[in-house]
A and B are shown apart, each in its own frame.
Chain A
Amino acid sequence: MTITQTDPVNAGQTFRDTAPVLRVENLTRIFGPGCPDCVARTGPEAETNTCPTCGSVVACADVSFELRPGRTIGIVGESGSGKTTALRCLYGDLAPTSGRAYLSVYRDGERDIFEADPQDRRRIRNFHLGMVYQNPSQGLNLLISSGGNVAERLLAAEWRKVAAIRDRAAGLLGRMEIPVSRMDEIPANFSGGMQQRVQVAKALANGPVVVLLDEMTSGLDVSVQAGVLDLMQDIQRQEQVAMVVVSHDLGVVRLLCERTLVMKNGRVVEAGVTDQILEDPHHPYTQLLVSSVNM
């Protein structure tokens, strides 16, 4: 399925002239041996992501979207719809089964980052991407200091001056409302909300063009969620960083994302401007999703 990215809000304005920072085409990841039927026999119509022929899981298939500089796109969908898998493929944790992705900062956006050799792929991730994982223990080393966690990204991006690294880490942690006095403490001692804020500081450290955020608030108390979302809105206003925000919470997406993809059984079933999707959902699944929450 191809999603046409016409933008009724910004049509004809400068927005259209800006090249996307990230362009994803037909991203597909199959877990299992795979067979010629896998994609055809799975998806929302089949109401499953498991291929009846070979038993493979089509975690995501034909996911396509574009992201413009400094913009935020949301991905919503039920548990198991393939959101995390898509993010992990983009970040380089997983190799996709097929599909292409282009980043403006890698060879002028003309070369598929999935085709990059392992060393280039690692450099793309270290210099140009950031990721916040659903579970802080995936994104942080809980046994090295929170400053050290942020430093890891800077070191990966070849910062080689300890004083500068500490300044930058202190600045980012302070920005995320982690007291600088706790910078040399291990995040294992921190609350869940603090750990997620350390993750955000870490993800932003190297000045990435795109940050991928996976359910960053779902493990948090509602009151704590609000604080983290406030901080994310500040970041959006102040940084030139584009974001992909994965959530199963439509409220989070409405707050942070101009545009949204809706996923079900590994496919994108609807894509467009977030407010339009929420007001006038087309796909029956989206209608169900919207009606089931009290917006």
Chain B
Amino acid sequence: MNLTLKVWRQAHANDTGSIETYPANDIPEEASFLEMLDIVNERIIEDGGDPIHFDHDCREGICGMCSLTINGVPHTKDSGITTCQVHMRKFREGDTIWVEPFRARAFPIVKDLMTDRSAFDRIIAAGGYISVRTGSAPDANSIPISKDDANDAFDAAACIGCGACVAACKNASAMLFVGAKANHLNKLPQGEPEKDKRVLGMVRQMDAEGFGNCTNQYECEGVCPKEISADVIAKLNRDYAAAATREAVE
């Protein structure tokens, strides 16, 4: 198929950057979106140009490394998949495709479509862990955990930390990520004792990194490749209110 790409090019972090147009001709329908970019890049290199830089790693939807806002939507409009899982058959002959980086002040651009998402790592370092050694995977049911709690924790743990939630939010809010990471641990017996400290620490780090505030539009939920529900944000709000109150009076 023959397509036209409108791609964000930015030479380095301090460059102003701009949208450039590239033809993407003779692209096989079965190519993935990243493979399509590989093909375009080979042609750019052949012509002596600077290839389009983009993040990728596993290319099977599990690592959270690929990004890209495609036609205004992170990981495309199709729900429940990452950019590396998008196939070109989803597009039509002659389409113009806009390819932009995940945009947020807290995700500075390194080059072209590559962004520095280490703000997420610093949020995790501010509380998204359990301080004591909990050993290797325990035998099933050796620690009783209710089915509901286990399900909730498991759903939250599906987050791969790609940052699509931030990229989709008009406020570049990281609430879905923080909600998922905090809720993953908060209700489990290993994580519960440090719940208040975790919630306060992670939310404060999130604010310090310059992410915006949630306005409950649920764009994040709509683009999350792991379809994490914005209910984790409601729980984070509730846990934050309780933790802040306890912090103020205790």
Answer yes or no: are A and B bound together in one complex.
no
Binding site for A on B (CB under 8 A): none
Binding site for B on A (CB under 8 A): none
